[in-house]
Structure 1
Amino acid sequence: MSAIAASGRDVLIIGGRPTVDLLPPEVKAERRSRAMHRWLIFAVVALAIVVALGVGAAFARNITAQLSYAVAQQHTLELTKSESKYADVFAVKSLIATGQEAQHVVGAPEVDWQGTQAAVVANVPAGTTVKSVAVEQGTPMTEYIQAPVALQAARIATVTLTLSNPGFVPAADFLDGVARVPGYVDAQVTNVEQKGEGDGYETTLIVHLGDAALTNRFVPKEVK
Structure 2
Amino acid sequence: MSITIRRPVEPQDSPESEEKASGAKTPGQRKPISKKPKSALRQPQAGAGEGLVVGGDPRVDLLPPEVRSARRNARTRRGFAWGVLAVFLVVVMASGGAFGLNIVAQGQLLVAQARTNELLSEQQKYTEVRNIQNQVDVAVAAKQVGASTEVAWQPFIAAVGSAEPPGLRMKSVTIDSASPIAVYQQSTDPLQGPRIATVTVVALSNTFPDVPGWLRAVLQVRGVVDATAGTVNRDDGGVYTSSITIHVGEALFTKRFETKGQ
2:179: which partner in 1? 139
**SS of equivalent to 2:155:** helix
CA deviation after TM superposition for structure 1 residue 72, in Å? 5.1
SS at match of 2:243: strand
**CA-CA distance at 1:171 after TM superposition:** 1.1
The answer to whether 1:108 aligns with 2:156 is no
The alpha-carbon distance between structure 1 residues 213 and 68, as it changes in their structure 2 partners (threshold 3 A), is closer
The separation in 2 between residues aligned to 1:106 and 1:115, in whole angstroms, is: 21
Measured in 2, the distance between the counterparts of 1:119 and 1:165 equals 19
> Aligned residue for 1:157?
197
The answer to whether the aligner puts 1:215 opposite 2:254 as a matched pair is yes
Tell which deviates more after alignment, 183-192 or 81-90. Answer: 81-90
Answering whether residue 236 of structure 2 is matched by residue 187 of structure 1, we say no
Distance 1:154 1:73, change over 3 A: closer
For 1:212 and 1:104, the matched residues in 2 are separated by 17
Counterpart of 1:187, as a letter, is A
Closer, same or farther: CA 127–66 of 1 in aligned 2, 3 Å: same
2:166 and 2:174 map into 1 onto residues whose CA distance is: 21
Q: CA shift at 1:89, angstroms? A: 2.1
Deviation of the 1:73 alpha carbon? 5.8
Cα pair distance change 1:74/1:115, threshold 3 Å: same
Across the aligned residues of Structure 1 and Structure 2, the Cα RMSD in angstroms comes to 2.7
**How much has 1:68 moved relative to structure 2?**
8.4
Say whether 1:89 aligns with 2:129: yes
Contact 2:165 2:210 in 1 (8 A): no
Structure 1: distance between partners of 2:261 and 2:214? 38
Residues paired across the two proteins, number? 162
TM-score calculated relative to the size of structure 2: 0.54
Q: Which amino acid letter does the alignment assign opposite residue 148 of structure 1?
A: T
Indicate the residue corresponding to 1:117 in structure 2. 157
Unaligned runs of 5+ in 2: 1-98
Describe the shift of the 1:68–1:142 C-alpha distance in structure 2 as closer, same or farther (beyond 3 A).
Answer: closer
Instruction: Provide Cα deviations, 1:57-96, integer angstroms capped at 9, x if missing partner.
Output: x9xxx8xx77984x65654444223312222222222222
- 1:17-96 to structure 2, matched below 5 A, reads 69=110, 75-96=115-136
Cα offsets for 1:15-37 (capped at 9, x unmatched):
xxxxxxxxxxxxxxxxxxxxxxx
Give the direction of change, closer, same or farther, for the CA distance of 1:84–1:160 in structure 2 (3 Å limit).
same
Code of the residue aligned with 1:155 in structure 2: it is R
Q: What is the TM-score normalised by the length of structure 1?
A: 0.63
Change (3 A) 1:68 1:208: closer
Structure number having the greater strand percentage: 1
